[in-house]
Structure 1
Amino acid sequence: MTITAAADGSALGNPGPAGWAWYIDDNNWAAGGWKHATNNQGELKAVLELFRATAHVDDDLLVLCDSQYVINSVTKWMRGWKAKGWRKADGKAVMNLELLQEIDEALVGRTYRFEWVKGHANHPLNEAADSRARAVSEAYQRNAAIPSGPGFVAGGPAPAVPARKTPAAAAPVKAAASAPAVRKAPKASADLGLFDFEEDRPHTVQLALSSDELARLTRRATGSGVSPEELLRGLI
Structure 2
Amino acid sequence: MTITAAADGSALGNPGPNGWAWYIDDANWAAGGSPHGTNNQGELQAVLELLRATAGTDDDLRILCDSKYVIDSITKWMPGWKRRGWRKADGGAVLNQDLMKALDEAMSGRDVRFEWVKGHAGHDLNEAADERANAAAKAYQQKQEPRRGPGFTMSTAGAAAATSTNRMQGDPTDAGRRAADPPARPASTPATAPAATAVAPAAVPLWAEASDLLEGLDDSPAPAPLDLHVTLSAQEHARLRDRADAQGVSLEEALRRLI
Shorter-chain TM-score: which interval?
Answer: 0.5 to 0.7
Structure 1: gaps (5+ residues): 157-236
Q: TM-score, structure 1 length as denominator?
A: 0.65
Within a 5 Å distance, the mapping from 1:72-83 to structure 2 comes to: 72-83=72-83
Within a 5 Å distance, the mapping from 1:43-122 to structure 2 comes to: 43-122=43-122
Q: One-letter code of the match for 1:56?
A: G
- Are the counterparts in 2 of residues 61 and 111 from structure 1 also a CA contact under 8 Å? yes
Moved over 3 A (4+): none
CA RMSD, aligned part only?
Answer: 0.9
Q: Distance in 1 between matches of 2:16 and 2:107?
A: 29
Q: One-letter code of the match for 1:55?
A: A
Q: Distance in 1 between matches of 2:71 and 2:13?
A: 23
Alignment-derived partner of residue 141 in structure 2: 141
Q: One-letter code of the match for 2:15?
A: P
Q: One-letter code of the match for 2:52?
A: R
Q: Distance in 1 between matches of 2:106 and 2:29?
A: 18
Within a 5 Å distance, the mapping from 1:1-236 to structure 2 comes to: 1-155=1-155
Q: One-letter code of the match for 1:91?
A: G
Q: Distance in 2 between matches of 1:88 and 1:143?
A: 36
Q: What SS does the aligned partner of 2:149 have?
A: coil
Residue 155 (structure 1) shift:
3.6
Which structure's CA Rg is the greater one? 1
Q: Distance in 1 between matches of 2:8 and 2:82?
A: 25
Q: TM-score, structure 2 length as denominator?
A: 0.60
Q: What SS does the aligned partner of 2:77 have?
A: helix
CA deviations 1:165-201 (Å, max 9, x no partner) are xxxxxxxxxxxxxxxxxxxxxxxxxxxxxxxxxxxxx
Residue 145 (structure 1) shift:
2.2
- Are the counterparts in 2 of residues 54 and 155 from structure 1 also a CA contact under 8 Å? no
Residue 53 (structure 1) shift:
0.2
Q: Distance in 1 between matches of 2:155 and 2:48?
A: 17
Structure 2: gaps (5+ residues): 157-259
Q: What SS does the aligned partner of 2:91 have?
A: coil
Q: What SS does the aligned partner of 1:128 have?
A: helix
Residue 51 (structure 1) shift:
0.3
Residue 144 (structure 1) shift:
1.7
